[in-house]
């Protein structure tokens, strides 16, 4: 009798971590069930540990297994237990999560630690896993597994009915076609991955620079990255060409934001005269262990010689798959391959199985039950005498054509034809089918989940309108403003006080243009834009200096008309505004951390000192700057922001709210610009309060905001600007088209709420008369319940919600929220991380049971594309990463309409007709076999043998039946003109149990009529009954094909 193990053993077990604890507990439980007290009485003190106890238990198990003998080892329970144990171990090995570690990277030295290779890999298979994985994916389908069992049964003499090639030939052909298709698709992925992995970069070494491929980059390498070049790995920025160590990066492919992000080099490294000095300093970088958060980083820079320690944060990093917007730069690699932020936010590419394949798989199970039932019926009528079970299995094999193996062949070849048609469609040029297994799913889409940046928009900001209160200046008025500014400055004396003098003389002459002048000057100053001229690191390597130009030289070069100025900023809106001021004559020529310089139409340079800068945040929804005019010493407080907050800051007016609404209806992104002149006393009072607030330990953010808000009162309203984010071509009609087709549209973006709302209105995702419900920020269960109840009471509204708020809602009321959200005609989720996008797709699939289509163009959309039933990638400015990981690649968003409504419709309709006809073709010959066996004393003899059975599904009927893949029910023009026809497809009526049983009745009727008619009408030709019935069968099938086809192609 088993007893508990000694308490001494329990108390002395040492648990190193949670996994070892679980392992030890499992072993203890197993010991309680199978061991006796005497078994553990011989354990020594050292063995009462986790490892010692495991070792002792394993030795005890081996001793028992040896003593029990071979009979016990080969028992069914023992074999089952061993098999399950092996499967569990294999599963644990395959699913074992990699353990991440922090690292200390010595600058300029080779790192010997084992880090993952910096390889991009989107392949599904490797050389060793191809055959096992493909075979598993094929035989997980009941249809293929059934025919494998049927083919294997032919090796048993008592069950053998025909020739082996009758069963193994079709099965081998199916597997060969599938393997060739999967190998071809995976080879294309391999070539795309190789193109990325072979991209060349410049690696900085002690002997200079040398080329290195992306896949050969390792942790600790120092890489020089040029402007507009993709960042190959996660890095810490060491040096830039800017004197202050600043550079800008584009993060479109990581977080979906079009805003350029400012990054700062490590101060100690930036101060070095040459990047070759990086190898002479004794410095190291501590980097935290890799994690999924793309908005945070904790690290430290340590220089031992001078005892310098600098904290590193997100501003010092550049993540993989971002793009350097101002360069070149020098950076050191800290994470590679699977440890990069972009890889950790991406999910493994799943093997997608179409809904129609699952439906056909269910139908084959019904057919299998019918096969068993029919065999059992004939055996029952024959009588359970003799070896009846042998007859039973032989009848199952005789009726195996009820489940036609040619079904998989026809469906797979049909998918290839559909893919070729999509690739060859001249109406959607550049479209590529990257996964040929799911073209039918294009015809069943119920939800489209689209990215914003680069998908719905072109990612180009264009200034459209300026409203000063009494006059609205559009694009047709820009020349008038330009001429006015030219006349003002060219007719005035030099010096910065010319502005006031010229303004005073012209105010009475042309007040609307003077108001525009003041607004333009404020717009040119109130921003966070930096003008740059392209530079090179050649001077760093050759001359040993990071910047050889002083401020005077920079101003001179930038103020020269021959030089082209590039602008960099964290917001494309600001760049659009600054470019517009340049077009009318006031040009930003210099910007650093302490000053701003403007060039006027007469060539004069205005200089301002930056006293304070208040960046834009999603909470404040505004940005401000305090400047001092170097010539007049006048202190200016300039601000611009969203109308919802600026309306309470500016002085009373009666036009702002109305004009904001007008511009919003036009789809323009609005900003309110205001100004206030501060006295020296006011500024010094603010500066004192602001400095004290920044030094506060408790509630620092609240105190800083309070100090700023003391200034934000009674500001003069100057103007309202309107900027357009240019939409992709035909986005509005395309969205209207798919909406009329019954498809609901969700926009998932990492951008700000205000920006996402403007694009939703501009693209007509939100109709003009539709109410917008913005889900408030919530943090706990009661707040979520209150806001959900408020949202539930609104009808036919568009929902706008932030990603963090969505997480809180799903934590407490997942089902309730999804139930209400799915009733909305449009949903916009902003500030979504790549992982959140994928989770939203999975939630929609879970709660609606409808097919989803995800559309994106950046690396941050890959997880969403792979999680959706249909993933569509757009080749655009953000690169090809989404396109390479998608199922279908297009070049413009407007092509999605034809892809779904025409090609999706045809693929689904054709597959539904083809599958049911192939089932009918196998069922009718089985009915004839059943009639034949019943008439001839229930004998288990095949009616058609050998080549007749193989030729029936190949030579005689394959081409006519396969012609159904060319059939169309409506023309392309009708399908695109009447998108409502698509609604019927999502209901799955073309392939349902109703249509399936109709074809079964037809098969039974035709098979019984052919066999009974042949026996009755040709009784005198009984010796030729096989030929007669087979001829009638072929003619019947050809006639049925002719009647089933809806459009004949002459």
Residue 13 scores a pLDDT above 50: no
d(CA 64, CA 58): 10
Q: Are the CB atoms for 929 and 1030 separated by under 8 Å?
A: no
907-910's contacts with Cβ under 8 Å and 24+ in sequence apart are: 907/418, 907/439, 907/440, 907/442, 907/443, 908/356, 908/440, 908/442, 908/443, 908/444, 908/985, 908/990, 909/443, 909/967, 909/969, 909/985, 909/990, 910/414, 910/418, 910/964, 910/965, 910/966, 910/967
Other Cβ atoms less than 10 A from the Cβ of 53: the count is 23
Position 235 scores a pLDDT of 94
Q: What is the 3-state secondary structure (H, E, C) of 655-674?
A: CHHHHHHHHHHCCCEEEEEE
Position 764 scores a pLDDT of 86
Residue 608's DSSP bridge partners are 596, 629
User: What 8-state DSSP symbol labels residue 443?
Assistant: G
- 3-state class (DSSP) for residue 1046: coil
pLDDT tens by residue, 224-252:
999 889 899 999 999 998 877 888 888 87
- Assess whether 451 carries a catalytic annotation: yes
Position 332 scores a pLDDT of 93
**Mean of pLDDT values over 105-124:** 84
Position 81 scores a pLDDT of 54
d(CA 77, CA 82): 9
Residue 32 scores a pLDDT above 60: no
pLDDT tens by residue, 917-931:
999 998 999 999 999
Higher pLDDT, 164 or 220: 220
Position 503 scores a pLDDT of 43
**Mean of pLDDT values over 92-106:** 69
Residue 554 scores a pLDDT above 60: no
Does the model's pTM come out above 0.85?
Answer: no
pLDDT tens by residue, 1008-1034:
999 999 888 887 777 788 889 999 999
- Out of 39, 255, 451, 967, the active site residue is 451
**Mean of pLDDT values over 616-640:** 88
pLDDT tens by residue, 747-785:
998 777 877 888 888 888 887 778 889 998 888 899 999
- Alpha helix positions (H), 731-833: 731-740, 753-762, 781-792, 803-821
Q: Are the CB atoms for 529 and 568 separated by under 8 Å?
A: yes
Position 450 scores a pLDDT of 93
pLDDT tens by residue, 577-602:
999 999 998 999 888 778 899 999 88
Position 201 scores a pLDDT of 92
**Within 13 A of 969's CA, how many CA atoms are on the CB side?**
19
Position 347 scores a pLDDT of 62
Position 542 scores a pLDDT of 38
Position 42 scores a pLDDT of 41
Mean residue pLDDT across the chain: 80
Residue 312's DSSP bridge partners are 299
d(CA 755, CA 842): 25
Position 728 scores a pLDDT of 87
Preceding omega of 373 cis (within 30 degrees of 0): no
Q: Of 957, 981, 999, which is closest to residue 909 (Cα–Cα)?
A: 981
Q: Which residue has the tokens 């590419």?
A: 349
Residue 327 scores a pLDDT above 90: no
**Mean of pLDDT values over 278-286:** 89
pLDDT tens by residue, 853-878:
999 987 778 889 989 999 999 986 65
Residue 890's DSSP bridge partners are 874
Position 400 scores a pLDDT of 83
**Mean of pLDDT values over 97-106:** 81
In 512-645, DSSP assigns E strands to 530-532, 566-568, 587-591, 595-599, 605-614, 622-629, 635-641
Q: Are the CB atoms for 113 and 103 separated by under 8 Å?
A: yes
Give ∠ CA 616-723-478 in degrees, rounded to 5: 125
Question: Which residues contact residue 139 at a Cβ distance below 8 angstroms, ignoring those fewer than 6 apart?
Answer: 145, 148
Tokens standing for residue 360: 């056909």
Alpha carbon distances (Å) from 304 to 12, 281, 307, 961: 45, 8, 5, 78
- The percent of residues in the chain predicted with pLDDT above 70, rounded, is 84
pLDDT tens by residue, 811-822:
999 999 999 999
Residue 465 scores a pLDDT above 60: yes
Other Cβ atoms less than 10 A from the Cβ of 857: the count is 33
d(CA 269, CA 581): 36
d(CA 652, CA 424): 61
- Phi, psi for residue 468 in degrees, rounded to 5: -105, 10
Question: Which residues contact residue 316 at a Cβ distance below 8 angstroms, ignoring those fewer than 6 apart?
Answer: 236, 237, 263, 264, 265, 266, 297, 299
Residue 4 scores a pLDDT above 50: no
Residue 802's DSSP bridge partners are 830
Position 910 scores a pLDDT of 93
Residue 621 scores a pLDDT above 90: no
Residue 25 scores a pLDDT above 50: no
Position 828 scores a pLDDT of 93
Tokens standing for residue 145: 């597994």
Give the pLDDT band of residue 190 (cuts 50, 70, 90).
Answer: confident
412-420's contacts with Cβ under 8 Å and 24+ in sequence apart are: 412/174, 412/177, 412/178, 412/181, 413/177, 413/962, 413/965, 414/910, 414/911, 414/914, 414/962, 414/965, 415/181, 415/439, 415/440, 416/181, 417/965, 417/966, 418/903, 418/906, 418/907, 418/910, 418/965
Position 893 scores a pLDDT of 92
């Amino acid at each position: 009798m088993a007893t508990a193990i000694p308490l001494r053993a329990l108390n002395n077990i040492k648990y190193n971590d949670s996994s070892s604890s679980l392992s030890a507990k499992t072993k203890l439980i197993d010991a309680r069930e199978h061991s006796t007290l005497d078994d553990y009485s011989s354990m020594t003190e050292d063995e009462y540990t986790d490892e010692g106890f495991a070792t002792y238990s394993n030795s005890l198990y081996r001793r028992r297994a040896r003593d029990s003998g071979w009979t016990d080892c080969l028992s069914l329970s023992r074999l089952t237990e061993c098999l399950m144990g092996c499967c569990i171990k294999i599963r644990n090995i395959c699913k074992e999560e990699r353990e991440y570690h922090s690292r200390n990277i010595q600058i300029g030295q080779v790192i010997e630690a084992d880090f993952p290779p910096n390889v991009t890999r989107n392949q599904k298979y490797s050389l060793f896993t191809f055959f096992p994985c493909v075979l598993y994916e094929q035989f997980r389908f009941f249809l293929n597994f059934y025919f494998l069992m049927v083919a294997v049964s032919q090796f048993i003499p008592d069950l053998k009915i025909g020739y082996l090639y009758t069963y193994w030939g079709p099965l081998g052909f199916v597997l060969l076609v599938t393997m060739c298709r999967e190998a071809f698709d995976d080879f294309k992925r391999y070539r795309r991955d190789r193109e990325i992995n072979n991209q060349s970069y410049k690696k900085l070494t002690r002997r200079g620079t040398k080329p290195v491929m992306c896949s050969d980059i390792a942790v600790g390498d120092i890489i020089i990255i040029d402007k507009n070049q993709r960042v190959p790995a996660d890095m810490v920025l060491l040096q830039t060409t800017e004197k202050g160590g600043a550079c800008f990066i584009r993060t479109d492919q990581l977080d979906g934001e079009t805003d350029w992000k400012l990054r700062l080099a490590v101060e100690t490294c930036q101060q070095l005269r040459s990047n070759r000095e990086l190898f002479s300093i004794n410095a190291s970088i501590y980097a935290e262990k890799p994690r999924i958060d793309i908005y945070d980083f904790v690290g430290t820079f340590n220089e031992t010689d001078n005892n310098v320690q600098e904290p590193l944060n997100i501003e010092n990093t550049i993540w993989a798959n971002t793009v350097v917007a101002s360069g070149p730069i020098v950076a050191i690699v800290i994470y590679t391959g699977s440890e990069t932020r972009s890889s950790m936010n991406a999910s493994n590419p799943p093997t997608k199985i179409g809904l129609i394949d699952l439906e056909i798989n269910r139908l084959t199970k019904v057919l299998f039950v019918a096969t068993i039932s029919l065999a059992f019926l004939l055996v029952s009528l024959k009588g359970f005498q003799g070896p009846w079970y042998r007859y039973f299995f032989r009848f199952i094999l005789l009726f195996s054509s009820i489940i036609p193996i040619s079904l998989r062949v026809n469906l797979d070849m049909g998918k290839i034809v559909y893919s070729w048609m999509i690739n060859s469609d001249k109406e959607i040029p550049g479209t590529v089918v990257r996964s040929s297994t799911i073209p039918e799913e294009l015809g069943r889409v119920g939800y489209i989940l689209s990215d914003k940046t680069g998908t719905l928009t072109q990612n180009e900001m264009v200034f459209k309108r300026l409203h000063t209160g009494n006059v609205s200046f559009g694009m047709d008025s820009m020349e008038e403003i330009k001429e006015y500014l030219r006349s003002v400055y060219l007719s005035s004396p030099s010096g910065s006080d010319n502005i006031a003098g010229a303004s005073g003389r012209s105010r009475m002459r042309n007040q609307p243009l003077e108001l525009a002048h003041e607004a333009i000057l404020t717009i040119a100053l109130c921003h966070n834009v930096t003008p740059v001229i392209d530079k090179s690191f050649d001077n760093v390597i050759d001359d040993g200096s990071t910047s050889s130009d002083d401020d005077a030289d920079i101003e001179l070069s930038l103020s020269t008309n021959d030089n082209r100025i590039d602008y960099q900023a964290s917001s494309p809106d600001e760049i659009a505004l600054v470019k517009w001021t340049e077009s009318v004559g006031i040009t930003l020529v210099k910007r650093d951390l302490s000053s701003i310089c403007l060039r006027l139409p007469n060539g004069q340079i205005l200089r301002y000192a930056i006293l304070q800068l208040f960046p834009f945040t999603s909470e404040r929804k505004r940005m401000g700057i305090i400047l001092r005019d170097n010539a007049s010493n006048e202190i200016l407080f300039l601000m611009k922001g969203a109308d919802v907050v600026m309306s309470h800051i500016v002085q009373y007016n009666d036009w702002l709210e109305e004009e904001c609404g007008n511009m919003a209806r036009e789809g323009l992104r609005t900003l309110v610009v205001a100004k206030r002149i501060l006295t020296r006393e006011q500024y010094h009072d603010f500066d004192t309060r602001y400095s004290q607030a920044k030094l506060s330990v408790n509630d620092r953010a609240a105190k800083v905001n309070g100090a700023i808000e003391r200034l934000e009162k009674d500001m003069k309203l100057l103007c309202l600007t309107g900027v357009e984010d240019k939409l992709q071509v035909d986005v509005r009609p395309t969205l209207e088209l798919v909406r009329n087709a019954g498809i609901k549209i969700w926009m998932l973006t990492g951008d700000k709420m205000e920006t996402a709302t403007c694009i939703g209105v501009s693209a007509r995702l939100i109709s003009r008369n539709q109410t917008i419900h913005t889900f408030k920020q919530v943090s706990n269960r009661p707040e979520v319940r209150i806001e959900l109840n408020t949202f539930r009471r609104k009808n036919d509204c568009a929902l706008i919600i932030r990603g963090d708020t969505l997480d809180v809602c799903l934590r407490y009321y997942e089902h309730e929220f999804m139930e209400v959200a799915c009733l909305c005609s449009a949903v916009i989720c902003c500030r979504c991380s790549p992982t959140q996008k994928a989770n939203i797709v999975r939630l929609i699939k879970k709660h609606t049971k409808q097919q989803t289509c995800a559309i994106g163009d950046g690396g941050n959309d890959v997880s969403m594309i792979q999680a959706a039933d249909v993933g569509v990638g757009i080749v655009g400015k953000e690169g090809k990463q989404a396109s390479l990981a998608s199922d279908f690649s297009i070049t413009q968003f407007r092509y999605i309409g034809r892809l779904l409504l025409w090609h999706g419709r045809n693929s689904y309709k054709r597959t539904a007709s083809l599958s049911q006809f192939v089932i009918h073709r196998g069922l009718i010959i089985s009915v004839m076999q059943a009639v034949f066996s019943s008439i001839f004393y229930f004998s288990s003899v095949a009616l058609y043998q050998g080549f007749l059975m193989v030729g029936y599904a190949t030579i005689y009927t394959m081409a006519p039946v396969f012609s159904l893949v060319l059939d169309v029910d409506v023309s392309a023009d009708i399908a695109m003109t009447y998108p409502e026809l698509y609604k019927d497809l999502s209901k799955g009526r073309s392939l349902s149990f109703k249509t399936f049983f109709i074809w079964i009745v037809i098969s039974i009727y035709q098979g019984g009529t052919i066999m009974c008619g042949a026996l009755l009408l040709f009784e005198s030709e009984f010796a030729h009954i096989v030929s007669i019935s087979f001829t009638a069968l072929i003619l019947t099938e050809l006639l049925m094909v002719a009647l089933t086809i809806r459009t004949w192609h002459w």
